[in-house]
Amino acid sequence: MNELTDLIALKRRQHAAWSSGDYVVIGTSLQIVGEQLAEACDLRCDERVLDVASGNGNATLAAARRGCKVTSTDYVQSLLDRGAERARAERLLVDFQVADAEALPFDDASFDVVLSTFGVMFAPDQPKAASEMARVCRPGGRIGLANWTPEGFVGQLFKTLGRHVPLPPDVAPPARWGVESHLRSLFGENAAEVAVTPRHFNFRYRSAGHFIEVFRTWYGPVHKAFATLPPDQAKALESDMADLLNRMNRAGAGSLVVPSEYLEVVVTRR
């Protein structure tokens, strides 16, 4: 199997994973990240904003709340539908379109700002996705990203999943988007400046068991992993997840609060 075939097969599996469960149950808890990223990008009223791999629309809504003209894209229609429900509830005007982060259907320099919160980092062809974000952003515009780091909780969670359901060989882990040197390499000459701020998001649940129950039911990649594994291997995955959660829990025995590091990134387009 060649590299291109690997990427196509991975994308199909990812699409199936993100289409399973119901990401909005998890995604809405991350809204603060979209709001902080909107401020970091200093969004202005009437700016043209593209949200790439928007999921249920956290960055989309944050930009629309600031008076921007927002186009929200994802390759999973059901996720866009949930984002549209949220926008209608707030009387926000947003254009929702199905689009692949690696082949954005927009002209060069179409947007003042391009955003992605924990979305584009999962594109299998990382250089292509970064190139597409840069292509559709105007010179002098901003590309704003929130990416989980390899060392943080979510990065460690995906390493745990990978031990039980491995990625194809030679496919870069998504958390590489959370490494500053890799980001600078991805955007290369397209970036006049890359500003990186480490931040933490706190996952708040009753216990490790509660977290696992919610994520295996609603969060596509975890849901799909448990569905794929035979019972004994699923039990081993559950045990490994519980060990990770309890090790990183800062709330003590009575609750679960797990900080997860991510990079808040603002790339100024050359």
The SS3 assignment for 204 reads strand
For residues 36 and 43, the answer to whether their CB atoms sit within 8 Å is: no
CA angle 173, 22, 235 (to 5 degrees): 65
Residues 6+ apart with CB under 8 A from 142: 41, 42, 112, 113, 114, 266, 267, 268, 269
Tokens at residue 257, please? 């609060």
Query: Would you state the structure tokens that stand for residue 142, as one six-digit string?
Result: 């901003």
109: region left, alpha or beta (phi > 0 left; psi from -120 to 50 alpha) = left
**Do 269 and 203 meet the contact criterion of CB atoms below 8 Å apart?**
no
Q: By the 8 A CB rule, do 49 and 112 touch? A: yes
Q: What backbone torsions phi and psi does residue 61 show, to the nearest 5 degrees?
A: -65, -40
For the chain, how are helix, strand and coil distributed in percent, rounded to 5? Answer: 50, 25, 25
pLDDT at 1: 46
Which domains can be identified in the chain, with CATH numbers? Answer: 3-149+166-202+260-269 (3.40.50.150)
- Provide the β-strand partners of residue 69: 48
pLDDT at 4: 57
CA distance 5 to 165: 18
Distance CA 2, CA 209 (A): 40
pLDDT at residue 10, as a whole number: 73
Per-residue pLDDT tens listing for the chain (270 residues): 455 556 677 777 777 777 767 898 999 999 999 999 999 999 999 999 999 999 999 999 999 999 999 999 999 999 999 999 999 999 999 999 999 999 999 999 999 999 999 999 999 999 999 999 999 999 999 999 999 999 999 999 999 999 999 988 778 899 999 999 999 999 999 999 999 999 999 999 999 999 999 999 999 999 999 999 999 999 999 999 999 999 999 999 999 999 999 999 999 999
The confidence score (pLDDT) of residue 169 equals 78
> Which helix (H) or strand (E) is 117 found in, with range?
strand 111-117
- For residue 16, what pLDDT is reported? 73
Angle (nearest 5°) at CA 173 between 167 and 177: 160
